[in-house]
Amino acid sequence: MTKADFDAMNLDELRRYVLAHREDVNAFYVYVDRSKASGRTSPSIQAIQVGRML
């Protein structure tokens, strides 16, 4: 799946894709970026972001 395909998905569709394709790191980062942009972050995403900062 390409970046363009991710852009065509809404946030819920992208979340389902990420959960079904956990090995797709690029999709995960697109999901995190779009979640942050929409203000829809979860505690687990925030914990991952803090972990990257350490």
Give whole-number Cα distances, 28 to 24, 31, 32, 37, in Å: 7, 5, 6, 14
What total of structural domains would you count in the chain?
A: 1
Q: Is the dihedral of CA 3, 6, 28, 25 positive or negative?
A: negative
- Determine the pLDDT at residue 47: 63
**What confidence score (pLDDT) does residue 40 get?**
74
CA–centroid distance for 48 within its chain:
11
pLDDT at 38: 87
Segments of the chain with pLDDT less than 50: 1, 54
Report the C-alpha gap between 17 and 12 in whole angstroms.
9
Q: Which domain holds residue 35?
A: 3-53
